[in-house]
A and B are shown apart, each in its own frame.
Chain A
Amino acid sequence: MTGLLELRHVEASYGPVQALRGISLSVPEGSVVAVLGANGAGKTTTLRAVSGTVRRSGEVRLDGKPLRGGPESAAKAGIAHVPEGRGTFTDLSVLENLRLGAYTRRDRSVKADVDTMTRYFPWLRERGDQRAGTLSGGEQQMLALARALMGRPRLLMLDEPSLGLAPLIVREIFRIVRELNEKEGLTVLVVEQDARIALNAAASAYVLEVGRVAVSGSSAELRDDEAVRRSYLGY
């Protein structure tokens, strides 16, 4: 059975440097999948290859249909990519950030969705007019998450959500991600440095090394395999 997202032999380069040397992975619908690995392994590039931010060769399919073009088409197809560093529109207000998340939608329930977001993140309502750049790192991460959800995406891609955040906040974010996955059936692909917390949230994972998939399997398998843990996951 094919997953919601399928990658086959995807390659990508930054100029002369080849970052991905043939990645194949599958994200089943309704599951959380993690992409792990050391710095420079190609994790971020994998997400960029999916959203079309970087030029790539190989096959990328969403729900069986091939994905082509740049990030605009990926967004229209229902992929929400929260990049490294959150990608907050710092000069715009919190509410404007949320409205932008719903940019590709043409239906009328956008305002209702803003209300839904404030249920997950109550502080959004009070700070609606605040300039997004003045939020703390954790708040920006949650805003980025809410913004991504505003697009009612089929696939949510998170790039290193834990970056620069206190452990307590990271736990809270992953808790929300798990809740969204369990309650709403949201499919999530998350890239993480912190393998431990990622494996807690994900059902399966791929470990990248130098642009290739070194190891993959269910989270339980990877966690129980001490050799894998020691050499690839760092704990």
Chain B
Amino acid sequence: MDPKQLTIEQVQEILLKEKYVCDRSLATVVYLSLVMGKPLLLEGEAGVGKTEIAKVLAKVLNAKLIRLQCYEGLDANTALYEWNYPKQMLRIKLEEVEHGDKAKVETEIFSQEYLIKRPLLEAIQTDGANPPVLLIDEIDRADMEFEAFLLEVLSDFQITIPELGTVSAQHRPYVFLTSNRTREIHDALKRRCLYHWIEYPTFEKEYEIITTKFPEVETKMAQQICAFMQKVREMNFYKRPGVAETLDWASALIALNRKNLDDKSVVETMGCVFKYREDLHHLREQVESRQINLDALLRASPELVS
């Protein structure tokens, strides 16, 4: 499928086929990013599906997904390429024993065979029919220095290896960057990207997500789950649950054969939603003091046209 021929509606459709529910504005931005060949920077709270969209896109575009997980201390060696030192050394030793041709060895040990490709080089050098999807995950975790270095790669899509020369991309990879906002990304990098902030889903969207992922779920329980999640996101918890938590919870409830949510099953399965002791404690208090009332929540939730 050639992404350049797509329309916004089609982007939404093909993502939905892979069970990724996305709203119109996100679809527009993804579409633009695909057509313009411009990297897309996705920000949003944890668990709203930033990483997922890149994975799903790679799948629907039938492209290779190359993922670069960022962390502090990530450097060019682990992101770009590295010479295979042990292999080079072994080769030299062998040639020593066999009295090989010195000049030949020198050129040969700096050839593709001795090069370890790391994600960025791999993304640029991929020679399939489709350009790959390059996912640079949690860029905010990497150092500022790495960002500066990324800048160079993302603007020219080429990498210079002194011993081999410049490698430039045959197809520009589709680049997605995600950030959890633990720190600000530098303006220069942001300027080279399209930007989108993924919000927590609305009640309707979350309902759609649950029913898309789990078609077997009971309507009432799905509504209860959504209403509950909407409510707790408004409340004062240390870590607000994302869509990933909603889906975990829904699948747990389905596995337990629950058809209906009650206070007891909420408290029992809360480990899917809250991952901090303080939050769990806070929730139990809220349920006990009737601050969270499932029936009231359900009544207050918007009517859904089924």
Are chains A and B native binding partners rather than an unrelated pairing? Answer: no
- Chain B residues close to A by CB (< 8 Å): none
Q: Which residues of A line the B interface, CB within 8 A?
A: none
